[in-house]
Structure 1
Amino acid sequence: MTRLDTLVRAAVDLTGYRLGLPQVAGALTMVPVHGPERPGIVPPRSGLKLNRVVGYGNVELHNGAPSGVAIVPLHIGYIQEGAQNHALCSAALMGAGETRLFEDACCVQAAQGGYLQGRDQWFFVLPVELRAKALALRGKPGYSKLWQDISTVNGRYGLPARGHLEQILTRKRAVLTQFRSRLELLPGQLGALFFVGEKFAGLEIAPDPRFFAEMWMPLVCFAYGVAAWRAEPPRPEPESFAVRDLAELRAELTRSREHHIERLGSWMPADTAMNTVEQERYLDLRLHTLTGAQLAGQVVTEHDRPIYASLFAVH
Structure 2
Amino acid sequence: MMEIQVKQEAAETSPLMGLLAHLAPGPLLSWGLLEVIGLFPVSVDQEQRHARFAPPLRSLELVGSPSYGTLVLRNRATDGVLVLPMHVGFFQPGAQNHATSRVLILDAGETLTVDDCFCIQQSQSGTLRQAQQRFCMLPLGLRRAAFELQGVKDFSQLWKAIAAYSRRYGINYGGHLERWLRPSFSQLLPYRHALELQPGQVGAAFFLAGRLVGVELAPNSAYWAELMPILLIYCYGAAALLAQRQGRALARSTLDLTGLRDLDDLQRRLEEARREEQRLYLAQLCSVAELHKHARLVEVHAGLRVLSISHSEWFGQAVYADSEVVYLSLFRSEL
Instruction: Report TM bin, short chain.
Output: 0.7 to 0.9
Q: Would you say how many aligned residue pairs link Structure 1 and Structure 2?
A: 303
Query: Which secondary structure does the structure 1 equivalent of 2:329 belong to?
Result: strand
For 1:264, what is the secondary structure of its paired residue?
A: helix
Q: Unpaired runs of 5+ in structure 1?
A: 7-11
Cα separation, 1, equivalents of 2:160 and 2:203: 31
Per-residue Cα deviation, 1:16-48 (whole angstroms, up to 9, x for no partner):
111011101111011100013211101110001
CA distance in 1, matches of 2:284, 2:33: 13
Determine the structure 2 residue equivalent to 1:76: 88
Q: Which runs of 5+ in 2 are unaligned?
A: 1-11
Deviation (angstroms), 1:269: 9.9
Residue from 12, 33, 36 that aligns with 1:30: 36
| SS of 2:280 mapped into structure 1 | helix
Considering only aligned residues, what root-mean-square deviation do their CA atoms show, in Å? 3.0
Q: Is the 8 A contact 1:189 1:209 kept in 2?
A: yes
Deviation at 1:80, TM superposition (A): 2.3
Partner residue in 1 for 2:16: 5
The alignment status of 1:278 with 2:290, answered yes or no, reads no
- Determine if the alignment matches structure 1 residue 125 to structure 2 residue 137: yes
The 2-side partners of 1:170 and 1:248 are apart by 49
Partners in 2 of 1:103 and 1:92 — Cα distance?
Answer: 12
Separation in 2, partners of 1:224, 1:279 = 26
Distance change >3 Å, CA 187–CA 112, structure 1 → 2: same
- Choose which of 161, 166, 176 in structure 1 pairs with 2:178: 166
The answer to whether 1:263 aligns with 2:269 is: no
Q: Structure 1 residue 306 and structure 2 residue 318: aligned? A: no
Q: Which aligned pairs between 1:187-206 and structure 2 lie closer than 5 A?
A: 187-206=199-218
Is contact 2:107-2:302 (8 Å) kept?
A: no
Query: Secondary structure, in 3 states, of the residue corresponding to 2:74?
Result: strand
The offset of 1:258, in angstroms, is 2.9
Indicate the residue corresponding to 2:315 in structure 1: 296
The CA deviation at 1:79 is: 1.8
Distance across 2 between alignment mates of 1:15 and 1:234: 32
Q: Secondary structure at the match of 1:149?
A: helix
Amino acid of the residue matched to residue 27 of structure 1?
L
Does the residue aligned with 2:222 lie in a helix, a strand or coil?
helix
Distance 1:146 1:290, change over 3 A: same
State the AA in 2 paired with 1:306.
Answer: V
**The structure with more helix, counted as a fraction of residues:** 2
8 A Cα contact 1:293 1:314, kept in partner: no
Cα 1:136–1:59 shift into 2, 3 Å: same
> Is 1:151–1:161's contact at 8 Å kept on the other side of the alignment?
yes
Aligned equivalent of 2:225: 213
**What is the CA-CA distance between 1:160 and the residue it aligns to?**
1.3
Greater shift, 256-265 or 154-163, is seen at: 256-265
Query: Between the two proteins, what is the percent identity of the paired residues?
Result: 31
The answer to whether the 8 A contact 2:205-2:285 is kept is no
Whether contact under 8 Å (2:122, 2:174) holds in the other structure is yes
Counterpart residue number, 1:53: 65
